[in-house]
Chains A and B, each alone.
Chain A
Amino acid sequence: MPAGGTLIAGGRRQQALVSFDNIWKTYPTGAEPVHALRGVSVAVMPGEYISIVGPSGSGKSTFMHILGCLDTPTSGRYLLAGTDVSRMDEVNLAEVRNRRIGFVFQQFHLLPRLSAWRNVELPLIYAGVPRHERKARALAALEQVGLSNRLEHRPNQLSGGQQQRVAVARALVTEPDLLLADEPTGNLDSRSSADVLAMLDGLHRAGRTIVLITHENDVAQAAERVMRFRDGRFIDDGEVAA
């Protein structure tokens, strides 16, 4: 994997959306520092659908946090859409998360007192989008996930699968470069899981870049490229589509 972040794809040079160059993350706990990431290098091209599989404790959560700009690496360089985000301060990272990354979490993380569309609207508030435009965009995103008839429902009035679809709509509403799904099916029954995975598949076909993190092999197979993570590094970067 070339670390510079450019690949020849389809006969033309294309800039990688995500480029990790020898990323280390070390926690200074106790006498011996813990290395959560040990020199990870990876590139994600625009439009790719990648799944990252690994057992718990493999460091894939740490990887996800750095990938999602929720945390910064101890060393190494991370370019997101050509911008070095590995040394950014908290304020700039917040803006990068807001503009470029859409999160889908295992626990949905919807605000219980807000209706579906108000939840979807949240990232647009932080982006400073004017009010009337926010509502229109939130409704469009909810329509995309098939929840147009649940706009005013609160999270506790929705099923798990519906809640996760609201979360997906919230991740999509800012039109992010990268959709980051951390165990999105972890709290769902198999039917809702299939539902959510089918939705991610549809988004991929529509051109979205998706990184799916899971510990379940069959969930990981939904992606076109499966990367295995163990002991703080990739052991199989799944160059060939599954």
Chain B
Amino acid sequence: MTWWETLRSGFDAIVGHRLRSGLTVLGILIGIAAVILTVGLGEGATAQVNSAITSLGTNLLIVSPGSTSTGLVRGGFGSASTLTYANAQALGNKRDCPDVKAVAPQVQTAANLVAGSTNWTTQVIGSTTNWLQVRGRSMALGSFFTATDVKTDANVVVLGSTTAQELGLFNPVGQTIDIGSVPFTVTGVLNTAGSSSSSTNEDDMAVVPVTTAQEDLTGTPTVDNIYLEATSGSTMGAAYTEATDELLALHDITDPANADFTITSQTSLVQTASSVNSALTFLLAGIAAISLLVGGIGVMNIMLVSVTERVREIGLRKALGATPAMVRRQFLVEASALGLTGGIAGAALGIAAAAIVPHFISNQIDISVPAALGSVAVAMVIGVVFGVYPASRAARLAPIEALRSE
């Protein structure tokens, strides 16, 4: 008996019991579609976070204020306000930090912007001229503020494209808007960030000189973060060490364990985000795998029913010369065909859902081809594994017992 014959008889048997085979296939189908979707969702989330993090700029190190210690009470990260514009300027010193290419301090606050009769609340960022380079942005209209503007606390502002739109400013360069009732002159509009990130809108912001922000908006001499761009990807380690040493010296701290700041790199951010995501993905995929297992048990159940129901057929086939191995193979092929059909249908459903679902939820779903192919293979393996027991039951049937049964 050739494989082709075995395959044909397997598919004949499946087509012969449409409803039953259909329900069995459905069990596998749901499992496979769930696995593909959850894995796709996990991959999509990881890709979203990664692109959000890379959209901050390239070769980036971010200095954040560390914890404060008042006696034995230790505050959380960011509770200290230890970073200043002066620190940022020191980090930009080529002699002490040769591997730091550019430095941009950042002050952040929310403020209400008013243009004529339109108002819009958004984040206002105070920084220096390096901000554009460090954050990997460019100008769409006009120009960024200048070093002179920073020195002189000039009331100038650069708007994000969304912000300009919301304020109804179609030709904003040179116009005056109020930020927290202080008048500012618009010098330019940023290009869109091109990031699909939905958590922080990189196009809805206003950028002003750091000195102006400290004076007019926050009223404190500290900055929230200092962004450092290393000279290249390979010098990020060196830049990290130089920046740490410089800041420890500036803050008069001798023991690095007591540092009142932390420096994180994009890589470490990506790693943290990825590990959180993969834990979630594992959990979801685990649940999906359980539904796949249930589908497999369904295959076994239906194959056992099939063997019981076809005892006479098995007896007849044996009387006509089928060996136990041939009978076993026939039932194994049937079980794996059920699995394979469910796998292919499940992959199709999963891929279709991945194309449709993102229109209704904010998450992106990335279907990976190897994962889809792998899950189809897994479905077939499930068919085989759960078909082994029913198939060997069929193979063991004595022909006379089988023929005798009515």
A125 at the interface (CB under 8 A from B): yes
Name B395's closest neighbour in chain A (CB-CB): A90
Given A113-B16, A125-B5, A128-B1: A98 and B403 within 8 A (CB)?
no
**What chain A residues lie within 8 Å of B400 (beta carbons)?**
65, 70-71
**What chain B residues lie within 8 Å of A105 (beta carbons)?**
403
Contact B324 A97 (CB under 8 A): no
Of the 9-residue stretches B133-141, B313-321, B337-345, which lies at the interface with chain A? B313-321
Give B287-316 interface residues, CB cut-off 8 Å to A.
Answer: 312-313, 315-316
Given A70-B403, A113-B12, A113-B16: A126 and B316 within 8 A (CB)?
no
Contact A103 B319 (CB under 8 A): yes
B322 at the interface (CB under 8 A from A): yes
**What chain A residues lie within 8 Å of B315 (beta carbons)?**
109
**Majority secondary structure, B binding face:** helix
Given A113-B16, A125-B5: A90 and B323 within 8 A (CB)?
yes
**What chain A residues lie within 8 Å of B12 (beta carbons)?**
113-114
CB distance from A162 to the nearest CB of B (A): 18
**What chain A residues lie within 8 Å of B325 (beta carbons)?**
91
CA A71 to CA B321, docked complex, whole Å: 13
A232 at the interface (CB under 8 A from B): no
Contact B403 A109 (CB under 8 A): yes
Given A70-B399, A113-B16, A128-B1: A122 and B323 within 8 A (CB)?
no
**Majority secondary structure, A binding face:** helix
B47 at the interface (CB under 8 A from A): no
**What chain A residues lie within 8 Å of B5 (beta carbons)?**
125
**What chain A residues lie within 8 Å of B16 (beta carbons)?**
113
Interface residues on B, range: 20 to 34
CB distance from B315 to the nearest CB of A (A): 8
Name A96's closest neighbour in chain B (CB-CB): B321
Contact B326 A126 (CB under 8 A): yes
CA A126 to CA B322, docked complex, whole Å: 6
CA A125 to CA B319, docked complex, whole Å: 13
Name A111's closest neighbour in chain B (CB-CB): B313
CA A128 to CA B5, docked complex, whole Å: 10
CA A68 to CA B316, docked complex, whole Å: 13
A59 at the interface (CB under 8 A from B): no
**What chain B residues lie within 8 Å of A68 (beta carbons)?**
319
A94 at the interface (CB under 8 A from B): yes
Most buried by B among A70, A94, A174: A94
A35 at the interface (CB under 8 A from B): no
CB distance from A43 to the nearest CB of B (A): 24
Given A109-B312, A111-B313: A126 and B320 within 8 A (CB)?
yes
A95 at the interface (CB under 8 A from B): yes
Mask: chain A, 99-117; 1 = CB below 8 Å from B; 0 = not = 1000101000101011000
Contact B321 A126 (CB under 8 A): yes
Partner of B323, one of A70, A94, A123, A174: A94
Contact B323 A91 (CB under 8 A): yes
Mask: chain B, 2-30; 1 = CB below 8 Å from A; 0 = not = 10010000001100100000000000000
Give B89-145 interface residues, CB cut-off 8 Å to A.
Answer: none
Known: A70-B403, A111-B316. 19 other contacts (CB 8 A): A71-B400, A90-B323, A94-B321, A97-B318, A97-B319, A97-B321, A103-B319, A103-B320, A105-B403, A109-B312, A109-B403, A113-B13, A113-B16, A122-B320, A126-B1, A126-B317, A126-B323, A127-B321, A128-B1
A-B contact pairs, 19 of them (CB 8 A): A68-B319, A70-B400, A70-B403, A91-B324, A95-B321, A95-B323, A97-B318, A97-B320, A97-B321, A98-B321, A103-B319, A105-B403, A109-B316, A113-B13, A123-B321, A125-B1, A126-B320, A126-B322, A126-B326
